[in-house]
């Protein structure tokens, strides 16, 4: 089996536990307004590779990846779930830690068979929740968030460790009510291990210019570190409030 890969990063300390070999999958159905990888959107881009080829590239740098492993991101890796599963199964057979960074957009509660197989070789899922409100989520990404929230609940039920990622964009994803509601939802994810609240930045803006596409957020300023901390505090407060309610 082969898959389409945009690129790899041989060393990263921000894409899961330890130092990671990061594989960027080609293709994504979402069009997030703040996406910093628009060059991964098209499904026919990148290079075609086998799982063995990628594991060989990992082997060439594995001495520098102590305490880490492989992280698959994108794009959206689960668009190529068959290839992703084969890669993770081969990685696990070699004792390599596996991490999936996904939006969860391809998950369908009506048929989980492909995901049931995938998670057997997945050590950690980093799940991006763009917005808790379905209407705003569709405005931001072009898609409803029902399947994404169902995926979070599925991972919780299956006992898969989850790191939640949420990007805070000024005037778009930083309102207090929505952040509080996100916290209340996350209180029900029994396998939640971490919450990363990431400040919006404009570092990917030049890619839009190179691709000849308009940058959707125009002159929206980057989110400050203090703003991201405030957002995380609100989410955590909502989470703790919900946990108190559950204990009563």
Q: pLDDT of 26-59, one tens digit each?
A: 999 999 999 999 999 999 999 999 999 999 999 9
Across all residues in the chain, what is the average pLDDT? 97
Q: Looking at residues 193-203, what average pLDDT do you find? A: 96
Per-residue model confidence (pLDDT) at position 143: 97
Per-residue model confidence (pLDDT) at position 221: 95
Question: The domain that contains 32 carries what CATH number?
Answer: 3.20.20.70
Separation CA 240–CA 181 (nearest Å): 12
Per-residue model confidence (pLDDT) at position 229: 98
Separation CA 10–CA 190 (nearest Å): 32
Q: What is the pLDDT of residues 216-232, one digit of tens each?
A: 999 999 999 999 999 99
Structural domain containing residue 99: 2-247
Coil, strand or helix: which one is 133?
A: coil
Task: Give the closest residue to 132 by CA, choosing from 152, 159, 118.
Answer: 152
pLDDT band, residue 110 (cuts 50/70/90): very high
- List phi, psi (to 5°) of 118: -60, -45
Separation CA 160–CA 14 (nearest Å): 20
Per-residue model confidence (pLDDT) at position 248: 82
Separation CA 110–CA 133 (nearest Å): 22
Q: Which residue has the tokens 């990992």?
A: 58
Separation CA 50–CA 138 (nearest Å): 34
Q: Looking at residues 191-204, what average pLDDT do you find? A: 95
Structure tokens at 214: 């308009």
Separation CA 20–CA 22 (nearest Å): 6
The tally of domains found in the chain comes to 1
Q: Where are the beta strands (DSSP E) in the chain?
A: 2-12, 20-25, 47-50, 69-73, 97-102, 124-128, 162-168, 192-199
Per-residue model confidence (pLDDT) at position 206: 92
Separation CA 33–CA 140 (nearest Å): 6
Separation CA 88–CA 26 (nearest Å): 17
What is the spatial order of strands in the sheet that 192-199 belongs to? 47-50, 2-12, 20-25, 69-73, 97-102, 124-128, 162-168, 192-199
Bridge partners (DSSP) of residue 102 are 127
Q: What is the pTM of this model?
A: 0.96
Q: What is the pLDDT of residues 111-166, one digit of tens each?
A: 999 999 999 999 999 999 999 999 999 999 999 999 999 999 999 999 999 999 99
Q: What is the 3-state secondary structure (H, E, C) of 9-38?
A: EEEECCCCCCCEEEEEECCCCCCCCCCCCH
Per-residue model confidence (pLDDT) at position 66: 85
């Amino acid at each position: 089996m082969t898959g389409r890969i945009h690129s790899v990063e041989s060393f990263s300390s921000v894409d899961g536990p330890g130092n990671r070999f990061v594989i960027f999958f080609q293709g994504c159905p979402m069009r997030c307004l703040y996406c910093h990888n628009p060059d991964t959107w098209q499904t026919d881009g990148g290079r075609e590779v086998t799982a063995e080829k990628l594991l060989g590239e990992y082997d060439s740098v594995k001495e520098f990846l102590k305490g880490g492993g492989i992280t698959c991101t994108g794009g959206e890796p689960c668009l190529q779930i068959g290839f992703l599963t084969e890669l993770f199964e081969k990685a696990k057979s070699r004792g390599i830690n596996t991490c999936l960074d996904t939006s969860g957009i391809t998950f369908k509660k009506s048929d989980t068979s492909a995901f049931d197989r995938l998670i057997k070789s997945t050590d950690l899922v980093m799940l991006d929740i763009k917005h808790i409100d379905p209407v705003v989520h569709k405005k931001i990404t072009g898609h409803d968030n029902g399947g994404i929230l169902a995926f979070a609940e599925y991972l919780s039920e299956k006992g898969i460790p989850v790191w939640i990622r949420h990007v805070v964009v000024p005037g778009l994803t930083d309102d207090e009510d929505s952040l509080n509601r996100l916290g209340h939802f996350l209180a029900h994810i029994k396998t939640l291990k971490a919450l990363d609240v990431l400040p919006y930045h404009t570092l990917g803006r030049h890619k839009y210019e190179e691709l000849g596409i308009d940058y959707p957020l125009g002159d929206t300023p980057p989110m400050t570190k203090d703003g991201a901390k405030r957002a995380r505090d609100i989410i955590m407060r909502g989470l703790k409030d919900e946990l108190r309610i559950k204990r009563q």
